[in-house]
Chains A and B, each alone.
Chain A
C-alpha cells in the first residue's frame, strides 16, 4: 500500500521541477510578451497600457507587410519543395540499392549544420564576386550570370535554396522511415494484380504517407516561421529590406530600434501563426478514438 503510493508520487515529483520551469519560462513569458505588446514599452519594458495601438501601428508598417510577404514566398516554396524532394530522394533510396548506408548520411549531414553555417557558406557560394559566377567567369564562361542574392526581387529565393539544401535530407529521413513501415504484403498483393511500380507508388504507397506529410508540414512550417539565423547569415535582411522575415523584424524592433511594444506585438502574431498550425495538428493526432 505504502509502496504503491510512493510509486504514484515519484513520477510527479520528478516531473514537477521541469513542469514548473516550463510553466514559468515558456508560458508565463508568453503571457508577459502579450502584456508588453499592449504597453508603451520602448527601450525597456514599461507598463503604460495602450490597448491594441501597437498592433494597429504594426499592420500599418510597410516593413511588416514586406516581412509577411517574404514569409509567404519563403514558407510555401520551402515546405512544398522540401516535401517533394524529400519524398523523391526517399523513394530512390528505398529501391534496395547498394551503398544505401553510405548515401543516407550524405543527405542527412546538412541537417547537422547550424543555419548560421549554411547561411555563411551559401553567402559566399552565391556571391557574384567570389562564388559561382566568378568561378564560371574564370573557367571562361564569361556570359554566365547568377546574381540573385544581389537582386532585391530574387534574393528571397536564395534563402529558399539554402533552406531547402539544409532541410530536405531530414524530410527524406522521415519519408524513408515511413516507406519502410509500409506492409510488404500490400505491395506484393498489388504486384500480383499486375500493378506497375509507378502505379504502386502513386495509388498505394504515397497515399499511405499521409501522416508523414502532415508531420513534415508541421516541422517545416514552424521552422519557416521562426527562421532567423539563416537570413541574418545569408543576406542580413538585404539588399535593402528584400529578405526581411517576421523573426528578423521582431528582433530588430524589440532590441535595436527601441520599439519593444511593436516588437512584442509582432512576436504575438508569429505565435498565433504557429498555434494555428500546431493546434489542428495536435487535435487530429490526439483525438480519442483514432488511436490505433
Chain B
C-alpha cells in the first residue's frame, strides 16, 4: 500500500517535472478553508486523496469558524505579507473583492480545455470569473430558500406541504394549536436574513433581483418591501421567545425532535437531519419556501486560486481541474448536502432532497430564476450585506416597525455603498 502510494507519487512527480520542465522535487498546494466539521472534512478528504494520487502534496490550512470570517482575516494577513496560499475557499463577493485587488491567478487555459463555461451555471460564473478570466473553481451550490418540516408535525397539521404564503400561515397556525413551536429559528443576524430573503423572493423574482441584487432604491423603499417586513413580523409570532443567539443546528434539532414544526434554512440543514438518522420524505419533508417554487437563491463555495510562484502553478492548475472533476463534485456534495456546481453531474448518488435540489437548480438556471443569496454574500458586497442584515435583525427583534425598517433599509444600503 505504502509502496504503491510512493510509486504513484514518484511517477506523478516525474510526469510533472517533464511537463513543467523544471527540477521541482515535489508539487504542493496550500489550501486555506474552514471545512473543519466531521462531514465537511471527510468530504474534502476526497479531493485531497485524488490530488495525492497525482503526486500533489496537500498542505492543509484550516481556520475554523462558520461563514469563514476568521479564515478571511487569516487570508488578509497572508496576502498583506506577500505569501498567499495556493487556493482559498471563498464565498461570493469576497471573491470579487480579492480579484479586484489583483491577487488572484488566471485559470483560462484549464477552463477552456475542460469546457467549464458550458457546464457551470451563468449566475455562478459571475463569481468564478473576473474581467472575463476564470479565477476560481466552484465546488458546490447551496440553495437557501428551503423549508425543512417535521413530517409528523405536518401530518398533525393537515398533512399538505404549503405552497403559498396563506397555506404556510394556515399550517403554522395549526402547529401552534397543536402545542409545538411552529417555526424553529435561531436569532442570529444571518439566520434572520436567510428567512428574509426567502420572503422577499416569494414576492416575485423581479422584486428580489431589483431589491437585493441590483440594490435599486425604488424597490428597497417600495410598498412590497413593507409587505416583506410585515410578513417577517408575522413569522416572528411563530418563533419561541428563547430564540435569540440560538445556533442554526440547534434549531434543526428542534425540528428533528418534533419540538419545532419547521425550519427555514439552506440545504446544509439536511446534514443535521441525516446525521440524526432521519429519512427525507419519511421523517422530514423538504420544500421550497412557499411562493418561491421554481426559483433558487444560491451561495456557492469556490476555491479561488491565488497568484503563486511559477514552481507552484502546475500543482495549482491540477487542483483547479480536480475540483471540477464530476466524480469529486458528486462525492463531495453527497456528503455536504449541497448540489454540484456543474449541471452535467449524474444525480444517482443523491437522496430525494438532493435530486430535487439538482433539478431545481438546472430549471432555475434555464429560466433565469437563479439569484445570488443576499444573506450569504452572493447578492451584494459585504458592507451592504451587513447593513441589510442589521436592519432585518433590528426589525425582527422588534426594534423597528415595518415602515421604519423600509426607510432605514434604503438609508443603510445607500450609506454602505
Contacts and interface: CB of A to CB of B under 8 A. Distances in A.
B80 interface: yes
Given A43-B101, A60-B415, A257-B383, A240 B399 contact: yes
B386 interface: yes
A199 interface: no
Contact of B383 (A238, A241, A259): A259
Nearest to B73: A255
B130 to A, nearest CB: 14
B399 A238 contact: no
A213 B273 CA distance: 56
B19 interface: no
Interface stretch (B39-47, B165-173, B237-245): B237-245
B158 to A, nearest CB: 29
Contact of B399 (A123, A152, A235): A152
Interface residues of A, number: 30
A22 interface: no
Nearest to A240: B397
B343 interface: no
A51 interface: no
B242 A258 contact: no
A178 B80 CA distance: 49
Contacts of B189: 238, 240
A239 B244 contact: yes
A154 interface: no
A240 B386 contact: no
Interface in A230-268: 235-236, 238-242, 252, 255-259
Interface in A41-78: 42-45, 57, 60-63
By size class, the interface of chain B is 20 to 34
A147 B242 CA distance: 8
B187 interface: yes
B397 A242 contact: yes
Interface in B34-61: none
Contacts of B234: none
A85 to B, nearest CB: 28
Contacts of A255: 69, 72-73, 76
A29 to B, nearest CB: 13
B191 to A, nearest CB: 11
B382 interface: yes
A195 B397 CA distance: 56
Given A43-B76, A44-B79, A129 B242 contact: yes
Contact of B386 (A57, A128, A236, A257): A257
Interface string B222-248: 000000000000000000011111000
Nearest to B243: A150
B245 A147 contact: no
B30 interface: no
Contacts of A257: 382-383, 386
A258 B399 contact: no
A255 B65 CA distance: 14
A43 B97 contact: yes
Q: Which residue of A45, A149, A236, A239 has the most chain B CB atoms within 10 A of its CB atom?
A: A239
B394 interface: yes
Contacts of A229: none
B386 A252 contact: yes
B32 to A, nearest CB: 16
Nearest to B93: A258
Nearest to A237: B189
Given A44-B76, A257-B383, A241 B394 contact: yes
Contacts of B350: none
B396 interface: yes
Contacts of A240: 187, 189, 244, 393-394, 396-397, 399
B397 A256 contact: no
Contacts of B244: 149-150, 238-240
Interface string A106-136: 0000000000000000010001110000000
The 3 closest A-B pairs by CB, nearest first: A240-B397, A239-B244, A258-B382
Given A60-B415, A150-B245, 6 more contacts: A44-B76, A62-B408, A123-B245, A152-B397, A240-B394, A256-B72
16 contacts: A60-B415, A62-B408, A129-B242, A150-B244, A235-B245, A238-B245, A240-B189, A240-B394, A240-B399, A241-B390, A241-B393, A242-B399, A256-B69, A256-B382, A257-B382, A259-B416
